[in-house]
Amino acid sequence: LMKELVTTGMSRKSLCSDDFYKSRPDLALHLYGLPWEQHKEVGDALFGTDDEDIDDLKENGWDVNVTGEGDMTPFEKYSICVMICKQGFKEETVAAFYGRDRSVISRYKDEWMPKLGAAGADMSELDLEMNHNIFDEEVKRNF
């Protein structure tokens, strides 16, 4: 019964469930802009490393494999902010998904939006010239 409840309707538990997204593969694309597994991989790549700036995240429980139980995890807060950025959901909407008050979602945004902004700024500084490309010069010329 619990597994069915987790995978049949939108709730905090279902939004953390791999099985929920397996049965609705397009939902993660809608909510996060990526398939569920890729959303988790991007989050882990951005915030699950040993970088000194984010050691506090690891100490505070960064883990993409969450259950939707207990205290809200850093990954869930990250996911909420990605959802808001991707779909422009109002805080009230996300609060209803997660069974939280709107003011709590606002605090999560205050905490995580700057982190997402910093990650985006870091990504925008990547060298986009072809000199780092794995393709040889002939392949590059054909692009």
Q: How confident is the model at residue 1 (pLDDT cuts 50, 70, 90)?
A: very low
pLDDT single digits (tens) 63-121: 888 888 889 999 999 999 999 999 999 999 999 889 899 999 999 999 999 999 988 88
Q: What is the largest CA-CA distance in the chain?
A: 59
pTM: 0.75
pLDDT at 9: 75
Residue 79 burial class via C-beta count within 10 angstroms: exposed 0-12, middle 13-18, buried 19 and up = buried
* Cα–Cα dist 135/115, whole Å: 33
Residue 45 burial class via C-beta count within 10 angstroms: exposed 0-12, middle 13-18, buried 19 and up = exposed
CB atoms within 10 A of CB 139: 11
Give the dihedral of Cα atoms 122, 124, 128, 133; nearest 10 deg.
Answer: 50
pLDDT at 57: 52
